[in-house]
Amino acid sequence: METTTQLNVGGMTCGGCVASVTRVLKQIQGVSDADVSLEAGRAVVRFDPDRTTVDALLSAVERAGFTASL
């Protein structure tokens, strides 16, 4: 069963940043959708909790050079 979480993402300044965050989140196995908003500074991620964790999502965003928190 899928679940949805909202991540606060810092450091995004342009559409390229949004594309980067979207790409790294969607590459994670178990993520079915990621809606990233520059204006809101957040990502709404739909994922399968049996295949990945919120911590893995946060780590992926941070590895891409952004800050991430719940």
The pLDDT value recorded for residue 64 is: 97
pLDDT digits (tens, 9 = 90+) for 3-45: 999 999 999 999 999 999 999 999 999 999 999 999 999 999 9
Report d(CA 46, CA 16) in Å as an integer.
21
List, in order, residues 6 or more apart from 53 with CB less than 8 Å away.
Answer: none
Q: Which domains does the chain have, with CATH numbers?
A: 3-69 (3.30.70.100)
pLDDT for the residue 8: 98
Q: What is the pLDDT of residue 13?
A: 98
Res 51: pLDDT: 98
- Provide the pLDDT confidence category of residue 53 given band limits of 50, 70 and 90: very high
